[in-house]
Amino acid sequence: MRLSQMLFVTLRDDPADAEIPSHKLLLRAGYIRRIGSGIYAYLPLMWRVLQKVSQIVREEMNATGAQECLLPQLQPAELWKESGRWDTYTKAEGIMFSLIDRREQQLGLGPTHEEVITTVARDMIRSYRQLPLHLYQLQTKFRDEIRPRFGLMRGREFIMKDGYSFHADEESLKATYQDMYTAYSNMLRRSGLAFRAVEADSGAIGGSGSTEFMVLAEAGEDEVLYTEDGKYAANVEKAVSLPADAETSKFTTYEKQATPGTETIDKLCQLFNCSPTQVVKNVLYQTVYDNGITALVLVNIRGDQEVNEVKLQNELTKIASQFGAKAIISLTVPNEEAQQTWAAKSLPLGYIAPDIADDYIAGSKTVHSQFVRLVDKTAVDLQNFVTGANESGFHVVGANWGENFKLPTAVVDIRKARPGDRAIHNPEQTLQSARGIEAGHIFQLGTKYSQAMGATYTNEQGEEKPLVMGCYGVGVSRLAQSAVEQSYDKDGIIWPVAIAPYHAIVTIPNIKDAQQIEIAEKLYTELNQAGVEALLDDRDERAGVKFKDADLIGIPFRIVTGRAIANGKVEVVKRATRETQEIAIDEVVNTLKQWVKAATEG
């Protein structure tokens, strides 16, 4: 492609609305253009990158025996009602764009395709002989994200590869899951990315497990905890660890003490000169279930620990049926305004005790009249602890479960693992922290959708069984941008060769020099013929401008038909290292071919 004929517009300055380097660079270098909130045009250079990533994804998927298909983006509401997700997706979470057609039928724009694929499987899979089966697609997804940001990282319209596998049993699912683990690792490695596969939260479906593939970058929205020995890595939402040992309490008798101005654990411990590990902290949450029922939740946890709200949400989802609900819409720490909607009297905030009475709640049709009481494991074994007295300005000390307070029956593990904690697999290892961009997520679904939607098969014994499912997603557009987030310098993007829009750019410093043009044209043609994808900068611009642009758009190899041509040579510059060398004109094509091959192999 000739730059003179391309839509090639670069910006000198950083666009105002871009926050992270990759977003700024893709805008400045003319790869993307913002059309609306979370909506972008992929311009020609970007589209080539996306196609390269897609091709790598395809090759890795096909290698596992999965088959490509294309499912509809317009999805009838009925399917989502069958799975029970219509209301949560369109109203509660509100992530799905929905519409009504001219026949007054409700439709959604696909944010994901479990419902569609399960209905296909229900219709077409009859027998164990057809299993296992794995279908995938590469397609634009729509999600009405609460906070679209960072360009392609969190768009409202983005490209995803999603795959769904069907199995007769868990064992077969696990085998495919392992294949996907390898395929996903290959995709990211081949795309030139530094990444980490981490244990991930699989929500309340729980059990069978899931893995996220995190591209390591400071701008990542996720925190990853890992150990140096390489044996443990997990999303902080899921991570587990050993808490520090609790100190022995110095209080031996149970008594109430005046502790004015100690709403926080810090202040309380300062006053008592005690360790937060001797304190039972009582944290109030408010959750709204998908049937509109609000429940108030009291969590008891050791004073030095924090609640992991993802784990808490999973626990509350497990008990949703007690409230006649299926899922959770929101989980918050109730502020004053929220408290006014249910509090029967003013709460002793900062001084709440584990036995705070249910009559603080004005129960109603929509507000459950009792606290959901959960105790975290870290608080269970404490003796002679300090905790609130249910009275502003007072705490109790020397308290014990069973004597002064009833231990809640629901003992749960909802503490947040933190950097510096000891690892469970080996207490000599401590957790380290890194930031990551979730590029992919593989997931053992089990029978959630097949059961809800009645997708069954007949096994060897002639019994009808629900299909066992897995699902596997990789964000193609997010992955492409995360490559930039991982690889740039002050002058611009540094694409990994495998996903660069072009391998090489032939720059003519002086467009008035016939010999420069002739050699450049020849190299340009021959490179492309040899499979080295080349651009030709034949614009009538100063050499300096051309070099700046080549750096900005991040093409791996630049070939300059400048002064060296007098000696039968051209200057060749590697973008990543700035390494410059003169190469004989008739060796250029072969050399570049080798370089590209070396950089993209395997």
Element (H, E) at 157: strand 157-167
Nearer to ligand ATP, 241 or 482 (CB): 482
145 interacts with ligand ATP by CB under 6 A: yes
Stretch of residues binding ligand ATP (CB under 6 A), selected from 65-73, 377-385, 416-424, 470-478: 470-478
149 interacts with ligand ATP by CB under 6 A: no
Please answer whether residues 116 and 108 qualify as being in contact, where contact means their C-beta atoms are separated by less than 8 angstroms: no
Reading the block at residue 212, the tokens are: 């996220």
Comparing CA positions, the residue from 98, 155, 110 lying closest to residue 137 is 110
- Contacting ligand ATP within 332-391 (CB under 6 A): none
> Which residue in the set 440, 496, 556, 562 belongs to the binding site for ligand ATP (CB under 6 A)?
440
CB of 199 to ligand ATP, least distance (A): 14
- Residues forming a β-bridge with 144: none
> Which residue in the set 58, 154, 522, 574 belongs to the binding site for ligand ATP (CB under 6 A)?
154
> Which residue in the set 132, 163, 436, 473 belongs to the binding site for ligand ATP (CB under 6 A)?
473
Nearer to ligand ATP, 474 or 520 (CB): 474
Stretch of residues binding ligand ATP (CB under 6 A), selected from 346-354, 377-385, 423-431, 467-475: 467-475
Comparing CA positions, the residue from 530, 439, 527 lying closest to residue 486 is 439
CB of 382 to ligand ATP, least distance (A): 35
CB of 540 to ligand ATP, least distance (A): 39
Stretch of residues binding ligand ATP (CB under 6 A), selected from 56-64, 126-134, 235-243, 469-477: 469-477
Nearer to ligand ATP, 224 or 565 (CB): 224
- Contacting ligand ATP within 109-128 (CB under 6 A): 112
Tell whether omega for the bond before 15 is within 30 degrees of 0, i.e. cis: no
158 interacts with ligand ATP by CB under 6 A: yes
H helices present in 281-320, as ranges = 309-318
Nearer to ligand ATP, 132 or 440 (CB): 440
> Which residue in the set 367, 374, 423, 439 belongs to the binding site for ligand ATP (CB under 6 A)?
439
Number of residues near ligand ATP (by CB under 6 A): 16
CB of 221 to ligand ATP, least distance (A): 7
Nearer to ligand ATP, 278 or 481 (CB): 481
467 burial level (CB within 10 Å; 0-12, 13-18, 19+): buried
CB of 213 to ligand ATP, least distance (A): 7
Stretch of residues binding ligand ATP (CB under 6 A), selected from 275-283, 334-342, 438-446, 552-560: 438-446
For residue 331, give Cα distances in angstroms to 53, 285, 314, 364: 37, 7, 11, 19
> Which residue in the set 155, 163, 348, 554 belongs to the binding site for ligand ATP (CB under 6 A)?
155
Stretch of residues binding ligand ATP (CB under 6 A), selected from 14-22, 97-105, 400-408, 475-483: 475-483
21 interacts with ligand ATP by CB under 6 A: no
Nearer to ligand ATP, 470 or 473 (CB): 473
Beta strands per DSSP E along 217-254: 222-226, 233-235
CB of 111 to ligand ATP, least distance (A): 8
Nearer to ligand ATP, 109 or 295 (CB): 109
Nearer to ligand ATP, 27 or 356 (CB): 27
- Expressed in angstroms, the distance from the first to the final Cα of the chain is 27
> Which residue in the set 43, 160, 173, 467 belongs to the binding site for ligand ATP (CB under 6 A)?
160
The span from the CA of 137 to the CA of 70, in Å, is: 5
- Contacting ligand ATP within 478-537 (CB under 6 A): 478
Stretch of residues binding ligand ATP (CB under 6 A), selected from 152-160, 335-343, 381-389, 407-415: 152-160
Stretch of residues binding ligand ATP (CB under 6 A), selected from 14-22, 403-411, 471-479, 491-499: 471-479
Q: For the chain, how many residues are written?
A: 602
Strand order in the sheet with 106-109: 74-76, 106-109, 98-100
CB of 148 to ligand ATP, least distance (A): 7
Please list, in sequence order, all residues whose beta carbon lies within 8 angstroms of the beta carbon of residue 487, skipping any fewer than 6 positions away: 192, 493, 494, 495, 496, 576
> Which residue in the set 220, 350, 388, 475 belongs to the binding site for ligand ATP (CB under 6 A)?
475
Please answer whether residues 416 and 283 qualify as being in contact, where contact means their C-beta atoms are separated by less than 8 angstroms: no
Please list, in sequence order, all residues whose beta carbon lies within 8 angstroms of the beta carbon of residue 518, skipping any fewer than 6 positions away: none
Q: Tell me how far the alpha carbon of residue 497 is from its chain's centroid.
A: 25
Please list, in sequence order, all residues whose beta carbon lies within 8 angstroms of the beta carbon of residue 503, skipping any fewer than 6 positions away: 497, 527, 532, 533, 534, 555, 556, 557, 592, 596
40 interacts with ligand ATP by CB under 6 A: no
Please answer whether residues 538 and 507 qualify as being in contact, where contact means their C-beta atoms are separated by less than 8 angstroms: no
Buried b (16+ CB within 10 A) or exposed e, 29-50: bbbbeeeeebebebbebbebbb
The span from the CA of 55 to the CA of 67, in Å, is: 14
143 interacts with ligand ATP by CB under 6 A: yes
CB of 26 to ligand ATP, least distance (A): 13
Element (H, E) at 529: helix 514-529
Nearer to ligand ATP, 277 or 482 (CB): 482
- Residues forming a β-bridge with 161: 138, 474
Helical packing angle, 476-486 and 21-28, nearest 10°: 100
Residues that bind ligand ATP (CB under 6 A): 112, 143, 145, 154-155, 158, 160, 438-441, 473-475, 477-478
